[in-house]
Amino acid sequence: MAYQNIAATLSPQDIQEIKAALQTVQRKMPFLITLSTEERRKLVKMGDKSLAFVNNSVTAAQSNREILPATFDVEELIRDYQLASALTELLISVQQLAEQVDDTLMAVGSEAMTSSLTVYDYVKTASKKTPGLKTVAEQLGERFKAIKGRPAKAASGS
């Protein structure tokens, strides 16, 4: 769908229901973990191309158990592969949703900033003749003051 002006709201009840649904998703996967940067770096990675390799190794392990050490747990390999496949499918859906939320946030944030810049321009102009607006104009202008020697950019979106 082509981007158009976004005119939508989320009620506090909607937000709570969405958060509850996300908590339900998390409860359905109590095994989820959080890895440190160092832990992520050390792990052997399995990408899209590796999924077929793992699938083939599962088949090879099932068909040739006698060549594997007795301590090798073929069933654990199968469970890991099945869970990796299921999580891959879910991750694609979650990533699509996250991308849509991110794109929508960017668009509606841009709309809010563009409108706010218009308000700021009008307040600055009106503050020269309208009593009481100088303070408002200065308050709004704080957003554009230079930070540690960087020049301010009025439409930067920062």
- pLDDT tens figures, 73-123: 999 999 999 999 999 999 999 999 999 999 999 999 999 999 999 999 999
Structure tokens at 23: 């908590």
Task: Tell me if 5 is assigned to some domain.
Answer: no
Task: Tell me if 22 is assigned to some domain.
Answer: no
Task: Tell me if 59 is assigned to some domain.
Answer: yes
Cα 130 from Cα 157, distance rounded (Å): 28
Task: Tell me if 93 is assigned to some domain.
Answer: yes
Average of per-residue pLDDT values in the chain: 91
Average the pLDDT over 54-63 and give the result: 97
Average the pLDDT over 59-86 and give the result: 97
Q: What is the pLDDT of residue 145?
A: 82
DSSP-derived secondary structure letter, 11: -
Cα 37 from Cα 63, distance rounded (Å): 37
Average the pLDDT over 137-148 and give the result: 82
Domain extent for 95: 48-144
Q: What pTM value is reported for the model?
A: 0.76
Work out how many domains the chain is built from and give that number: 1
Structure tokens at 62: 């099932």
Task: Tell me if 36 is assigned to some domain.
Answer: no
String of DSSP letters for 46-93 = --HHHHHHHHHHHHHHHHTGGGS-TT--HHHHHHHHHHHHHHHHHHHH
Task: Tell me if 132 is assigned to some domain.
Answer: yes
Task: Tell me if 109 is assigned to some domain.
Answer: yes
Task: Tell me if 43 is assigned to some domain.
Answer: no
Which of 103, 108, 113 is CA-nearest to residue 154? Answer: 113
Cα 152 from Cα 158, distance rounded (Å): 10
